[in-house]
Amino acid sequence: MVLPSSNLRATSSMAYPVSLSSLHHHPNNHHACFPPSKANHDNTHKPMESPKISRRSLIFLPVPSLLYTSSSFALDDANIPSTSTIDTTITDRIFMDFSVCPSYFRSDRTLGAELATCPDSEPLGRVIFGLYGRLLPLTTANFKTACTSAAYRGTLVHKLLQGQFFVAGRQGPRRDRGEVQPPMGLVRNAESIDPKAFQLRHARPGTLSLCLGQNDDDDDVKLNPNYHNVEFLVTTGPGPCPELDGQNIVFGTVLEGMDVITSIATIPTYKPAERIRFFNDFAQLIGDERAQTARALWDRPLKTVYISDCGELKVTKPSLSPPSLP
């Protein structure tokens, strides 16, 4: 039985799909469609030639054929070092007692009195930090020295971003304002410019980190040739803080007292109105130095939270098993 030429064209187009755009764009192009076949009087079947597909029809390739090219992007994460290969052995344990001083803003408060001598202190609890001394020996040594010398005693928690982290240890000469005066014996921290020091991430609550990107020490303090950064932050959760990664050095974690960290995170903070933010942005744009001074009050806890005591906890075994990191 011989098929009509019209039926054969329909059958051929079903067997070999061709781009519709090429057919409509070249209505008289004989290469874009098959010529009508003639009746085969010899009752022989000749092999049908494959149609030529133009370059324009390549855009109609099925999506699965493109998956092989997209799989190469998944290899980018292979360059990121795994936390399982990083030595996060806890070599030292540091404790910090956090308290609230209700009389800090009272008018009858003794002028120049340090926070450590607050007469009506309300304890919040003790937090025990574990330090990664093998991974970051210089950062750990400076932090431990500041704790054992009581330099952090009376230090104010001066910034709190709810749901993210809080910051303490702002450096300055005013002990009555909760600022820190670094002790003698701190070493020059070359790890602050070492890329390997930024491998750990702020992936969970209770991460202890040295403030570099979030450091808000005054410029005149940073220009001191004997400047040592002692400002630190602690993530409060509930989620990770990826915006801190690569900017601050993670050198420890909370071992005990996460409930104290959570209670600090719930304290309300000062939030400026939208109009104040607008004028502050404009003042910073024109170079007004008062803009930065005003920003120092933003995100400050409305309660005076400070470190009432700190020190080192001696352990019989110097190295503890490292915690599981995400």
Domain definitions of the chain by residue range? 92-271+301-312
Distant-in-sequence, close-in-space partners of 20: CB < 8 Å, separation ≥ 6 = none
pLDDT in tens for each of the 326 residues of the chain? 444 444 434 444 444 444 434 444 444 444 444 444 444 444 444 445 444 544 444 444 443 333 333 333 333 444 555 556 888 999 999 999 999 999 888 877 777 788 888 889 999 999 999 999 999 999 999 999 999 999 999 999 999 999 999 999 999 888 888 999 999 989 999 999 999 999 999 999 999 999 999 898 888 889 888 899 999 999 999 999 999 999 999 999 999 999 999 999 999 998 888 888 888 888 888 888 787 777 777 889 999 999 999 999 986 665 555 555 44
pTM of the predicted model as reported, rounded to 2 decimal places: 0.69
CB 306 within 8 A of CB 156: yes
Tell me which residue of 301, 318, 292, 200 sits closest to 252, measured CA to CA: 200
Residue 146 pLDDT:
95
- State the amino acid at position 311 in one-letter form: G
Tell me which residue of 190, 148, 146 sits closest to 170, measured CA to CA: 146
Tell me which residue of 274, 272, 275, 261 sits closest to 305, measured CA to CA: 261
Q: What is the CATH number of domain 92-271+301-312?
A: 2.40.100.10
Distant-in-sequence, close-in-space partners of 40: CB < 8 Å, separation ≥ 6 = 2, 46
For the chain, report the end-to-end CA distance as a whole number of angstroms: 71
Residue 3 pLDDT:
43
DSSP 253: E
Distant-in-sequence, close-in-space partners of 291: CB < 8 Å, separation ≥ 6 = 280, 281, 283, 284
Residue 82 pLDDT:
57
CA–CA separation, 248 and 207 (whole Å): 11
Residue 210 pLDDT:
97
Beta bridge partners of 98: 125, 307
CA–CA separation, 33 and 59 (whole Å): 18
Distant-in-sequence, close-in-space partners of 214: CB < 8 Å, separation ≥ 6 = 159, 167, 233, 244, 247, 248
